Structure 1
Amino acid sequence: MFKLIKCCLLLCAMQWQTSFAQPQFTLLPSPFKNIDTLATNDWWNRAPNEIINLKVNRDSVVAFGLYTVHANVLKLSAQLYPLYPNESRTIKLALYQDGKWKVAQRQNANELGWSALFRIENWDHSKDTKYRITHGERAYFEGTIRKNPDYKNEIVMAALSCNSNRDRGLRENYVRNINYQDPDLIFFAGDQSYDHTEHTAAWLKFGLQFRETFRNRPCITIPDDHDIGQGNLWGENGKLSTAKGGSDGGYTYHPEYVKMVERCQTAHLPDPYDPTPIEQGIGVYYTNLTLGGIDFAIVEDRKFKSGPEGKIPQQGPRPDHIRNPEYDPNSIDLEGLSLLGERQLIFLKDWGSKNLESIKVVLSQTGFCGGAHIHGSLDNRLHADLDSNGWPQSGRNKALRLIKSANAVHIAGDQHLATVIQHGINDFRDGPWAFIVPAIVNDYYSRWWWPEDEQAGVNPNKSTSLSWTGDYLDGFGNKISMMAYVNPESPSKGGGYGLIRFNKNQKNVTFECWPRNSDVTTGKASQFEGWPITITLD
């Protein structure tokens, strides 16, 4: 009997290996072979990695889902762990209707990135609907597609950015606080991944950290430079970058990798305004989302931006760093340089001319000025950083005029330095307001707002004890009015998140900024010094 049981166990093991471990995998193009190796080809033969365990039990292969609803169209992206060769690629979306689960759609997971997209038109957004993403008989992820909160006077959005891999732990504080504050929408402004060549594993890690914040509410995620494997990105319409650091403009990695990242992070967003691909067949996702009477424009502020190398006089040890405070800012604001690109300028103009009764918000990766003086460490003072969207100045001003014309506010991340700034275009304070939210984890690359003369600007913000507020020129000569900032000496090293409240009746917007280590459930938590800030729209 013992021998019979042993033989049966051996046979089962052999069958398991035949089902899951046989080398019948999709071979990727050779330029792709050194990126995303943990989740492609014979991924199951890879050694354990520090990012995440990819070899999960088969009842756990559905990791999470992301969704938006816009213009009566539901788009929901399902994210899976890597599948073994003989496992089905079919993913189902079921909806709970009339007291039972009904399969609404079936889609196949893409083996590059392991995501699948569901799209349902004529969606009834007047009621909450439970959804379930399933694979096989046992694996599933459940959540709720919320009804449109257009009946509410105040619409609330949580905004986060820069999920550094210096801390790979869970994000319990964020999940607890955000779910307690219960925003209607959550926005991740970029750098969800800092593991440049292993996006799938890092994206799965991000999902495990934050999925309880977007399981039951719509979510906007947009990739930034680290997500697509670069320290900085000047996309320059999708060309191939060949310079170290990408400062010549374009993308460093294989276009299929870039497309995979954007597919995983943005496929669930509303359809692009103009889906025409850019160079190398890389797609676009700039679009708008209306929710609860608020109209959000989602902008790609890196994809069309010109790279500095070879185009402007180099003013420091790197093509993108200017250290000489005596340089002429006009010498780098040259004809032909682009920031948002003509396509997105057309989009913003069109978007700004519609839904005039709505509060309007522009969402993008980074700020439209040089809002920091010190980068990385206290001994690294830069006069101007061309990675910021303060350059090129003419492109910056074109974007700000359209944002102002739409009577919109701007929300972004990237800088690891929370700020509230009112932009100036021709004069101080004639432009739109912007809130750059803090980094989720600020242990990677801190920045400081620290004027070299340590003087307050003209017309300082007298409602805060912060030393350096008021009107300033940034390193590009742009006019900015600093209202509040969070240097790394602040609580939680400046790490935290933003909460934005849109009051439709009063036509005002309140910016809140919460430290990472706060506990809002106690009723005793405090925001960073200088917040909250409420501004009234024209």
Structure 2
Amino acid sequence: MKRLFPVLVTLFSSSVLLSAQSPPKNESPPPRKREPLVIPDVPRNELICFALYTTSRGVFKMSAFLYPLKDGEERKLTLEVMWDGKWQPLIEAPVEELGWMAQFRGVSPWDDSRDHRYRITHAGGSLYEGVIRRNPVEKDEIVVANFSCNGNNDRGPREDIIRNIKAQNPDLLFFAGDQSYDHKEHYAAWLLFGRQFGEICRDRPVVTIPDDHDVGHPNLWGEGGEISRVPTGNDGGYFMPVPYVNMVQRAQCGHLPDPVDPTPVKNGITVYYTSLLLGGIDFAILEDRKWKTGPAGLVPQMGPRPDHINDLAYDRQSIDVPEAQLLGARQLKFLESWTNSWNGVEMKCVLSQTPFVGTAHLHGGKADRLLADLDCNGWPQSGRNAALRAIRRGFAVHLCGDQHLSTVCQYGINAWGDAPWVFASPAIANIYPRSWDPLEKPKRRDAASALPATGDYYDGFGNKLTMRAYFNAVPENNMGVGYGIARFRKSTREVTFELWKRGADVTKDKPVTGWPITVRQQDNYGRAPLGWLPTLKITGAKDPVVRIVEESSGETVYALRIQGNQFRPKIFNAGSYTVVVGEGDHQVTLPNVSSLPLDGPEQNLEIIIP
């Protein structure tokens, strides 16, 4: 019988471990029977557990994860690539004992025009092989698998998911957070994650981002890196040791493209927000909770705890505290730049942990009703709206998870449907069920949906949302477990969302009732126009980028790559605009373009791209 290593012996000295606060309670009581989390004592030629990689804009990065090394064993790994029929050493990387990982950065610019076979080797005989895929720019449809919440109530293999993903063959895997629910034992849980999903990660790019449970929190309000003083964390900040938090982030995000601005936040906590370009789809990778303000002491407590509201008399607007942050100034600045950048881009998508709206009414095993949950990103409302205004300027959809409740809905800021669509994936394994079960009737019923409680609603914060589909975590739905698929179709500029329940066979079964759902790219800025600019008739460029700038404010109204050579820009204020068409040296800037009334005659503007 194999000997089992103590779970944390390789992570921290006892003094560091003891300095952390007692682990906070999970959101729900643990299952009666939960298999212990162990690190198997593997043969020495099986030390490499799994690897993750991305390629983007000519840069290749990979992280490899090992079982614990013993004294005297080699502390480095070698990455080799098959070139001209021979294995060629590419990079050597040291093994970091904090988390037992090694990180590789490939030659730059990386040749992403073809597949590359790779292998990682260790002097002890361990060998790990896979394929670094080419950039699928030639494909019309780019497929993303959307996962979240890998609950520790089921530590078994994920054979049904692996089988389906191999059949669906997505171009990108996205794990939106809570890959680990074991708080102080991320390393051991991360190795388990590798055993569960490594088979589909070894030969395609993967985005993994940590959420609250990954860094040891039941809920997280990061408050820009402050130190939390309470075991619930709702005063804002982190309570796990900074080296632990950084180890988790390095393990899960070290293979992502470099951060836009690597400057750590307070107390030296690192950041990872960035963008990834794959197959003409530009993915902004956000940190939902790192700058989010904690609610304790900021809003009146109107329930059993500062972040749970159960007082029927509460005023939704009273908890919208203008100084409370969501994404923070740095990420909003990044989004402003990202939505304006279209080099090699046809469509855009935001990847983050959780929806910017409250969709769960019933919580926990007893299905208790909760009027508002400040852990979701529907709060703070002003910060939420600022994020959505930035995202919709690039006509981006939003993929996320976290809620243990899969939904597809469209955000609303000032009106229903004036902001992006969002697809929240279900839990892979669900430790805390949630359900969409509104008491009020919709302001408008969604006749296109096969589900009853769809249409225009307010959430518990007064935010507008249009619910299109939901998959409640109830016994008849197998507690709502599964995963999502998003298909970006470049030829039609549409995105199709599919929801697949655990145990389904994608080769013969259908998606969950209510899915698939297809949305158009331009619906992600569904704001009704108050006027128009002249219709742009463009020669000299195919599918050019168009950017509209309001001259009175200097702000970009929106930017996108149009289809064809004709586009009628909508605007939301009467006035003068600058129209920028094309890219780089092949760009035309037209200032002082006057708006036209909504019901006025159409005018044309001829543009020749040099």
- TM-score (ref. length: structure 1): 0.90
For 1:362 and 1:379, the matched residues in 2 are separated by 31
Residue-by-residue CA offset, 1:277-331 (whole Å, 9 max, x unaligned)? 0111111000000000000000000100000011111111101001113211221
- Partners of 2:233 and 2:111 lie apart in 1 by 45
Measured after TM superposition, the shift of residue 333 of structure 1 is 1.3
d(CA) in 1 for partners of 2:510, 2:10: 52
Match of 1:514 in 2: 500
Cα distance in 1, alignment partners of residues 315 and 18 from structure 2? 45
1:410 aligns with 2:398: yes
Secondary structure of 2:369 counterpart = coil
Distance in structure 1 (CA, Å) of the matches to 2:504 and 2:303: 40
Post-superposition Cα deviations, 1:132-177, rounded to whole Å, max 9, x if no partner, equal 1111141011100001100001000001000001001000000000
Kindly indicate whether the alpha-carbon contact (under 8 Å) linking 2:103 and 2:255 is maintained by their aligned counterparts in 1.
yes
Q: Give, in whole Å, the separation in 2 of the partners of 1:425 and 1:434.
A: 14
Q: Aligned partners of 1:35 and 1:294: how far apart in 2? A: 41
Please name the residue that 1:385 is paired with. 373
* SS of residue matched to 1:107: strand
Q: Percent identity?
A: 53
Name the structure 1 match of 2:517: 533
How big is the shift at 1:379? 4.3
Give 1:33 shift: 4.8
Find 1:472's aligned residue among 457, 462, 474. Answer: 457
SS, match of residue 342 in structure 1:
helix
Please give the residue correspondences for 1:9-158 in structure 2 after superposition, counting only pairs within 5 Å.
28=13, 30-33=15-18, 50-120=36-106, 121-158=108-145
**Corresponding residue of 1:263:** 250
Counterpart of 1:3? Answer: none
Secondary structure of 1:244 counterpart = coil
Task: Please give the alpha-carbon distance, in whole angstroms, between the structure 1 residues aligned to 2:188 and 2:482.
Answer: 24
Q: Is the 8 A contact 1:464 1:529 kept in 2?
A: no
Structure having the higher helix fraction is 1
How many residues align structurally?
500
3-state secondary structure, aligned to 1:136:
coil
Q: Give the partner amino acid of 1:254.
A: P
Residues 25 and 85 in structure 1, CA contact (< 8 A), matched pair in contact too: no
- Provide the rounded CA distance (Å) in 1 between the counterparts of 2:182 and 2:19: 13
Q: Which residue of 2 aligns with 1:318?
A: 305
Structure 1 25/158 Cα, relative in aligned 2: closer, same or farther at 3 Å? closer
- Return the letter of the residue paired with 1:113: G
Q: 1:256: Cα distance to partner?
A: 0.3
Deviations 1:467-515 (A, max 9, x none): 2101111000000110000012343321000000000010000000000
Distance 1:162 1:285 in 2: 20
1:429 corresponds to 2:417: yes
- Stretches of structure 1 that go unaligned for 5 or more consecutive residues are 1-19, 37-48
Distance 2:402 2:306 in 1: 20
Distance 2:465 2:387 in 1: 15
Equivalent-residue separation in structure 2 for 1:372 and 1:137 (angstroms): 50
Q: Cα offset for 1:458? A: 2.8
- Residues 212-265 of structure 1: CA distance to partner in whole angstroms, max 9, x if unpaired? 111110000000000011110000011111112100011111000000000100
Tell me the residue number matched to 2:278: 291
CA contact (8 A) 2:74 2:124 kept: no
Q: Does the 8 Å contact 1:463/1:530 carry over to 2? A: no
Q: Which residue of 2 aligns with 1:460?
A: 445
Unaligned runs of 5+ in 2: 22-34, 523-610
For residues 38-86 of structure 1, the C-alpha deviation after alignment (integer angstroms, 9 at most, x for no partner) is: xxxxxxxxxxx82233311111110111000011110000111111121
- 1-side partners of 2:38 and 2:232: how far apart? 27
SS in 2 for 1:520: coil
Q: Identify the match of residue 494 of structure 1 among 460, 466, 480.
A: 480
Letter in 2 for 1:193: S
Q: Which amino acid aligns with 2:78?
A: K
Cα RMSD (Å) of the superposition?
1.8
With over 3 angstroms needed to count, the CA separation of the structure-2 counterparts of 1:343 and 1:136, relative to structure 1, is same
Q: Which amino acid aligns with 2:463?
A: N
Residue 250 of structure 1, aligned match among 231, 237, 242: 237
- Which region of structure 1 is more displaced relative to structure 2, 323-332 or 25-34? 25-34
Aligned to 1:358: 346
1:225 aligns with 2:209: no
Structure showing the higher strand proportion among its residues: 2
Does the residue aligned with 1:197 lie in a helix, a strand or coil?
coil
- Which residue type is aligned with residue 342 of structure 2? N
Structure 1, 419-428 or 372-381: larger mean CA deviation: 372-381
Q: Whole-Å Cα distance in 1 between the matches of residues 17 and 134 of structure 2?
A: 41
Aligned-residue offset at 1:459: 2.5
**Does the 8 Å CA contact 2:365/2:433 hold for their aligned counterparts?**
yes
Aligned residues of 2:73 and 2:124 also touching (Cα < 8 A): no
Distance 1:472 1:461 in 2: 11
Tell me the secondary structure at the aligned position of residue 227 of structure 1: helix
Question: Superposition pairs for residues 170-319 of structure 1, below 5 Å?
Answer: 170-319=157-306
User: Which residue of 2 is the match for residue 481 of structure 1?
Assistant: 466
Report the secondary structure of 1:200's partner residue. Answer: helix
Q: TM-score, normalised by structure 2?
A: 0.80
**Residues 479, 160 of structure 1: CA spacing in aligned structure 2 closer, same or farther, 3 A cutoff?**
same
